[in-house]
Amino acid sequence: MATTLDKPLTQDRQTTRFQALRHDAFQQSLILLSLFVLLFLTLVPIILMVFLSLKDNGQIYGRFWGLPNPIRWENYPSGYNAMVSYITNSLIYSSISVAGVVFLASLSGYVFARHRFPFKEVIYMLILALLMIPGVLTLIPSFVLVQQLGIINTPWALILPWTAGGQVFGILLCRSFFANLPQELFDSGKIDGANEFQLYYKIAVPLSWPIIVTVAIMHLVSTYNDFIWPLLTITSSEMQVVSVGLTEFTSQFGITDWGPRMAAYTVATIPLLILFMFGMRYYIRGITSGAVKA
């Protein structure tokens, strides 16, 4: 039987446990509140863009913070018709560049991860050192090189530099992921008579879809949003990309129609939203597994 001395001790333990739970609940609530505030601040520009896309200039200048009344649904056909060619160009150029980056970066990452050769670590460190160089410092040399190659105002002026520029980070992610694949799988493949390229595309690639999709998504987003390089190298409106095309959205009288322009911004984000909808699962798996492994 419990003595009278045990009852106060039990009550003290329960009180301490209740206080600890209440303290943890307060901390969790504070964290959730902070996250909601950050999420709201992140979504404010997007919500404002959608609201402005349903207004005309009179509503925007007269009632900027008010709800659209009447709603200008016709802004979206105007924005789509103005941006469809730019969006198509961006998707084509970026997709070709993504294919090149995924193939070359995964192949290079496989070689660095699964093979030994002289000066391997030195070469790898030199490649990683390129991450330390800001892109703006190589802007003029890259432009001169593209100009000397004679591909100014052609799709290759975008595809080739984008493909080359995406290699370093892609190699970093792929090498980290490939290095953690079980060696027994590759030994079994060699016993079965597979050559090195078969080991790469029959064993390494199928097991590495998360990191490959991660590299593809990150590179596609960066090239789709690129502004400075297309502005310098593409002078023809027919071959221009979406980021530059958005800045040229004006009316026939030279006045910016902000409603259709905001609708064009909204339409331009749809491809990236679709990309994240279908690739988010692999993207999260790649970031949380391959990108953080040594």
Predicted confidence (pLDDT) at residue 49 exceeds the cutoff of 50: yes
Rounded Cα distance, 260 and 153, in Å: 28
Q: What is the pLDDT of residues 55-70, one digit of tens each?
A: 888 888 888 888 888 8
DSSP annotation string for the chain: ---TTHHHHHHHHHHHHHHHHHHHHHHHHHHHHHHHHHHHHHHHHHHHHHHHTTS-HHHHHH-TTSPPSS--TTHHHHHHHHHHHHHHHHHHHHHHHHHHHHHHHHHHHHHHHH---TTHHHHHHHHHHGGGS-GGGGHHHHHHHHHHHT-TTSTHHHHHHHHHHTHHHHHHHHHHHHTTS-HHHHHHHHHTT--HHHHIIIIIHHHTHHHHHHHHHHHHHHHHT--HHHHHH---GGG--HHHHGGG---TTS---HHHHHHHHHHHHHHHHHHHHHHHHHHHHHHHHTTT--
Residue 164 lies in a domain: yes
Residue 48 lies in a domain: no
CA distances from 107 to 115, 122, 230 (A): 12, 18, 28
Rounded Cα distance, 171 and 197, in Å: 17
Predicted confidence (pLDDT) at residue 183 exceeds the cutoff of 80: yes
Residue 27 lies in a domain: yes
Rounded Cα distance, 209 and 199, in Å: 15
Q: What does the pLDDT read at residue 230?
A: 92
Return the CA Rg of the chain.
Answer: 27
Whether 37 and 79 share a structural domain: no
Q: What does the pLDDT read at residue 98?
A: 94
Q: Which CATH number goes with the domain that contains 168?
A: 1.10.3720.10
Whether 21 and 134 share a structural domain: no
Residue 177 lies in a domain: yes
Q: Which of 191-195, 227-231, 260-264, 287-291 has the lowest mean pLDDT?
A: 287-291
Residue 51 lies in a domain: no
Residue 59 lies in a domain: no
Give the pLDDT band of residue 188 (cuts 50, 70, 90).
confident
Q: What does the pLDDT read at residue 117?
A: 85
Q: How many domains does the chain have?
A: 2
Residue 139 lies in a domain: yes
Domain span at 238: 75-289
Whether 23 and 164 share a structural domain: no
Mean pLDDT of the chain, nearest integer: 83
Provide the residue type at 292 as one letter. Answer: V
Predicted confidence (pLDDT) at residue 192 exceeds the cutoff of 70: yes
Give the pLDDT band of residue 148 (cuts 50, 70, 90).
very high
Whether 217 and 275 share a structural domain: yes
Whether 20 and 100 share a structural domain: no
Residue 58 lies in a domain: no
Whether 35 and 89 share a structural domain: no
Whether 171 and 31 share a structural domain: no
Whether 94 and 228 share a structural domain: yes
Which position has the higher pLDDT, 24 or 7?
24
Whether 124 and 33 share a structural domain: no
Which position has the token pair 């699964």?
A: 114
Whether 119 and 22 share a structural domain: no
Whether 33 and 134 share a structural domain: no
Whether 36 and 147 share a structural domain: no
Q: What is the pLDDT of residues 74-87, one digit of tens each?
A: 888 888 888 889 99
Which position has the higher pLDDT, 288 or 125?
125
Provide the residue type at 19 as one letter. Answer: Q
